[in-house]
Structure 1
Amino acid sequence: MPEHFGAGTAVYGKSKNSIFFFGGDIGALQDQNSLVYTLDTTQLLSGWQDIQVPQNTVDRRLLLSVTADNNDRIFLFGGGGGGKFGDTKYIRYNTMNIFNIITQVWSFGTIDNTLIKREGHTATFLPDTGEIIYVGGRSDNGLLIDMTNLDVYDTINDKWVKRLTQNSPQQRCLHTAVLTNDKRIILFGGVNGRIPVENYYVVLDVKTFVWYHGNENLSTKAPYRGHTATLYNDYMFIAFGQGQSNDDLHIYKIKDYANFTEVNNYNVIIEIDPKIRNNIIIGTVTGSTIVIGFIGFMIFKYIMSKLKIGKRPPSLIIDIP
């Protein structure tokens, strides 16, 4: 796989063990080669697989959103790029491209002319309703997009609707979003113009569409753009990102509303079914516990050895197109 900047990814499959990778800048935004890759994490030795895309089916672009539903369909929305061959102007999109992983067929979602062209936004799929909520980003005129009225795409009925929110936060782009088990969308980071947003941590309750604002002070090392956010149980892991040179891993214990606690490590708890435990010889259990504890200690020691003290990101950052 060639080097990419600004590509979009999504996990899919029943067990969410496969990765869909689309677009990004490889030095030529009109290049249709190496446009889509997939990776089956259960067969890592096979590596990334290049999916051939028919000519003029979908444009290469970056800073778009890529989201998967529960039926192996991938939804690509927005982003910016170079358009078709011969175009000389950088353009932003409000196009919805849909790719069916099973049939390998591309299609278009309903085109709504009221949709703002955007890049650097987030997309969150709600499995209970089949909706995708789009938040933030930068529009075609270079302005940040209002976060009071959100665009929502109904993947079941192929239609767009607006959702009015209350207590909306500062506008932003290049942030991340994760969905909690109790139906909250947590936004982390982002930029307003060329500087970091004032509140890195804001939360949207999708049951009431009310925003909540975090009050805790984040680590001065926390990245604010170009990072990744991963939710596991009640912990959010923030990694990588632009604006500083470090490989710190930031872990946040998620609480109610917009409350959270930054922690130094994450402890994996291994639970054994009582029915199984009663049938295991005590010596075997003891030996297994020692082995698991030793492995866990070595993993923890390795992670801690990799952490470095980061610097506060500069107030100015590199412009995006």
Structure 2
Amino acid sequence: MPWTDLSSVSGVTCKASATACADKTTIYYIGSSHCGGLVSKFDMIFLQWSEPTTSGSIPTSPYERPGEEMKWVQCVILGHKIYVYGRFTAYKMNILDTSKLFWSTFTLSLTYSRMQLYSAILLNDSILYIGGTFSSSGGCQTNSNQELPISIFNTNDNTWRIVTTSGQIPTSKCYHASVYIPQHNQILLFYGYNDITINSLDTLTFTLTIPVILNSGGPLRLLVGHTATLIGAYVFIAFGNHKDSYKWVTIYDPINSIQPIPASPTSPSNINIGAVIAGAIGLLIIGIILGGMIIGFLRPIIERANINRVNYDQLP
């Protein structure tokens, strides 16, 4: 699984906390804190960046900060339509038609306002919005009533409904990642803020369980802001932030060792001048003694070889 560095491709727009969806051979990056436009796209065939001009009901932020209207949200693509919900756009479902680069907006009131930090899963013709928070401050929503409401958006008639889960419900679920496994009618929820568990959601009964993991491995500490992608029978978990800088590896190198933490530089006010002077004098004396021993050892050798004779009387 080799990495390919594409940072040399010109035209890239700096983005943070963006959402991305791929329409065939084009990746669309939407929202976030950025230094360009609301939408950037990357052509995977010709390896080219561009910032297309969109029209229609273009999402805007009430704080007039570019991209803040769509930060910490996720997009879902169905056909040529990209669906983005939440953040400062409040009760609005924003849809970007990639074939026309046209935005349309549906204002609805059934689901929550300012929803963000959730995971979005496409299930047939519906989009499931799981967990997250409904606060502009970014703090995770606590399920005090032992419920994890799931908002479902029907893309056929643009309507919402809310279902309530049962079973082993987590106290909170945000900054997590999800994948849908259609063969098992399950959605797996991986980790999240203050959460090191993996949860399983049955898409037929909306029952939450904690699946049995048959071996050890994977992140055992807080992992947030990561991605989860289903490829064949494997779920790839990548990126994100760890509480500690540890990682799992598949190759053992006996030479590789834990490096010591560099000591902080000592400020001049904390230096013991007397100790420094004493140490310097001690090193000088040791150097003189070692120098005399080396000279005494080499003198008869040089004299016998009669090479580069030196007048040792001039030596100290």
Partner of 1:212: 209
Per-residue deviation at 1:110?
4.1
Partner of 1:166: 166
1:240-287 CA distance string (max 9 Å, x none)? 11135759578xxxxxxxxxxxxx5xxxxxxxxxxxxxxxxxxxxxxx
Aligned CA distance change for structure 1 residues 50 and 222 (closer, same or farther; 3 Å): farther
1:174-212 CA distance string (max 9 Å, x none)? 111111132321111111xxxx2142x111111221112
Q: Say whether residues 1:131 and 2:134 are aligned partners.
A: no
TM-score of the two chains, using structure 2 as the length reference: 0.63
Partner of 1:49: 50
Q: Would the aligned equivalents of 1:174 and 1:225 in 2 still touch at CA under 8 Å?
A: yes
Partner of 1:190: 192
Q: Would the aligned equivalents of 2:178 and 2:228 in 1 still touch at CA under 8 Å?
A: yes
| Greater fraction helix | 2
Aligned CA distance change for structure 1 residues 68 and 170 (closer, same or farther; 3 Å): same
| Aligned pairs for 1:137-156 within 5 A | 137-140=132-135, 142=139, 144=141, 146=143, 148-156=148-156
Aligned CA distance change for structure 1 residues 165 and 63 (closer, same or farther; 3 Å): same
Per-residue deviation at 1:235?
0.5
Q: Would the aligned equivalents of 1:223 and 1:240 in 2 still touch at CA under 8 Å?
A: no
**How many Å separate the matches in 2 of 1:26 and 1:149?**
32
**How many Å separate the matches in 2 of 1:143 and 1:247?**
25
Aligned CA distance change for structure 1 residues 237 and 198 (closer, same or farther; 3 Å): closer
Q: Say whether residues 1:78 and 2:73 are aligned partners.
A: no
Partner of 2:9: none
| Aligned pairs for 1:266-285 within 5 A | none
Q: Would the aligned equivalents of 2:227 and 2:238 in 1 still touch at CA under 8 Å?
A: yes
Q: Say whether residues 1:104 and 2:101 are aligned partners.
A: yes
**Secondary structure, aligned partner of 1:189:** strand
Q: Would the aligned equivalents of 1:65 and 1:79 in 2 still touch at CA under 8 Å?
A: no
**Alpha-carbon RMSD:** 3.0
Q: Would the aligned equivalents of 2:120 and 2:127 in 1 still touch at CA under 8 Å?
A: yes
Per-residue deviation at 1:93?
3.1
Partner of 1:7: 18
Q: Would the aligned equivalents of 1:239 and 1:248 in 2 still touch at CA under 8 Å?
A: no
Per-residue deviation at 1:79?
2.4
Per-residue deviation at 1:164?
2.4
**How many Å separate the matches in 2 of 1:204 and 1:221?**
21
1:202-232 CA distance string (max 9 Å, x none)? 1111122111213445545566101111110
Aligned partner (choices 110, 113, 116) of residue 119 of structure 1: 116
In structure 2, give the amino acid aligned to 1:165: T
Per-residue deviation at 1:55?
8.9
**How many Å separate the matches in 1 of 2:212 and 2:201?**
15
Q: Say whether residues 1:39 and 2:29 are aligned partners.
A: no
Per-residue deviation at 1:36?
0.6
Per-residue deviation at 1:133?
0.2
**Percent of aligned pairs sharing the same letter:** 22
Aligned CA distance change for structure 1 residues 56 and 35 (closer, same or farther; 3 Å): same
1:13-35 CA distance string (max 9 Å, x none)? 3xxx43221011127xxxxx421
Q: Would the aligned equivalents of 1:178 and 1:185 in 2 still touch at CA under 8 Å?
A: yes
For the pair shown, the structure with the greater C-alpha radius of gyration is 2
Provide structure 2 residue ranges, at least 5 long, that are not aligned to the other structure.
1-11, 61-66, 259-316
**How many Å separate the matches in 2 of 1:34 and 1:40?**
17
Partner of 1:241: 240
Q: Would the aligned equivalents of 1:63 and 1:119 in 2 still touch at CA under 8 Å?
A: yes
**Secondary structure, aligned partner of 2:45:** coil
Provide structure 1 residue ranges, at least 5 long, that are not aligned to the other structure.
28-32, 81-91, 251-263, 265-300, 311-321
1:107-158 CA distance string (max 9 Å, x none)? 01242255232111111011x3x00000111112745064532110001111
Q: Would the aligned equivalents of 1:22 and 1:35 in 2 still touch at CA under 8 Å?
A: yes
In structure 2, give the amino acid aligned to 1:164: T
Partner of 1:95: 92
Q: Would the aligned equivalents of 2:202 and 2:208 in 1 still touch at CA under 8 Å?
A: yes
In structure 1, give the amino acid aligned to 2:241: Q
Q: How many residues align?
A: 228
**How many Å separate the matches in 2 of 1:75 and 1:249?**
35
